[in-house]
Structure 1
Amino acid sequence: MAYLEITQLDKHYDRFQALKEINLAVEKEEFIVFVGPSGCGKTTLLRTISGLETPTTGMIKLDGQDITYVHPSKRNVAMVFQNYALFPHLSVFENIAFGLRLHRLSRQEIDQRVQRAARLLHLEPLLTRKPKQLSGGQRQRVAIGRAIVKQPKLFLFDEPLSNLDAKLRVRMRVELLNLHYETRNTAIYVTHDQVEAMTMADRIVILNEGR
């Protein structure tokens, strides 16, 4: 049985069908990359897996559990967005810890998880800074750190490097892959960059017109 199973997944917006009979099996610890032209359904599929969109029909199973209609906060899935989605008034530490505090973890557990993520992502010297004091690459690492501390079963990356310049994108690809090898997580990564896909993927999934 695959770790993530998507079966006959459809998504309609009124008369527009964004996803058409999607079937996908992802193994544990696999790094899958979705590629395809703009508007082909990559982000819609990612948002449906995360629970931010509800499918019209079909099923999503993660680690043997049907999560098709489970609330996003209860799916044990973490999503990293291309615009970082950081709180400007919070420090790096507070941004990374934000989701953990909502789940009422102890102060000691929060500190341990944040410090571990900071070590993995080379953010230890930056924990007291605000987002406006960071470079684009550093902000993206903070967004990734916020996902790591949740210790999710599945990571979802929605074009996380698209706002970075070419040189920094190459460096961040290496960092993301090193992080994947170190944490042995299962990940789905969306990009329109074919070089990025071929560099990073264990397996590439091509979407076109929602299928």
Structure 2
Amino acid sequence: PQAITLRHKEFGSEHTFHAASNTAGLVSSVSNINELIANGTDVSGEINGEQASGRGQILTGDPGADTVEGIKIRYTGETAPAGGNAGTVTFSQNSLTFQIGAEANQFSEYSLGSIKTNDLGRGEENSSNFDSLAQIKVLNSEQAQDAIRVIDKAIQEVNGSRGEMGAFQKNNLESNLNYLRIAHENSVSSESVIRDADMAEEMATFTRNQIMMEASTSMLAQANQNSMTVLKLIG
């Protein structure tokens, strides 16, 4: 059997359309009579654990929210995800800034994701309706199994954050530290060449000057001796 799929080009509860066919039961239950197609569904959810309102595919932080007011997230899926949960989004704010070079604007930024229990393990589908690690309870076997799932996801999220921090430290901080250390050593070596005397050259110059001074003294002494000899002969 073949199926006909009609889809509106827009998303959300504000958009709808009518459809009819000249054959009863094909598109409309009665031939040539328009039927209203059910409205779409607006995306719903929270941003950073704070209330947000959905309109079509856009989720917007509600007015008065502490940190997410006005922030918009767009869900790009064309159908509702299985279980009604599409996942989580992490926003990076108030990032840490590290100066990694000697010049202006040579810096790198890193943002730490929240590891609060209210923010860990979110979005894990479970029959006990645990929304996060902070809500887990172990009062029966079903809750115990669901708690394990939420805890496992929280561990994965923490490990992911640790991996990101390690990669940032190795690829950004340590690599630049090694570069700066080598640059410093080269600068110190260059300064040493400029400031320090070449001892061999200086000793050669000193010896030459000393020989010339002694030769001059000897020649002067001989000249004085010759003058005294002439005076004795005259006398």
TM-score range relative to shorter protein: under 0.3
Q: Which has the higher contact order (CA 8 A, sep 6+)?
A: 1
Provide TM-score, normalisation by structure 2.
0.20
Structure showing greater Rg? 2
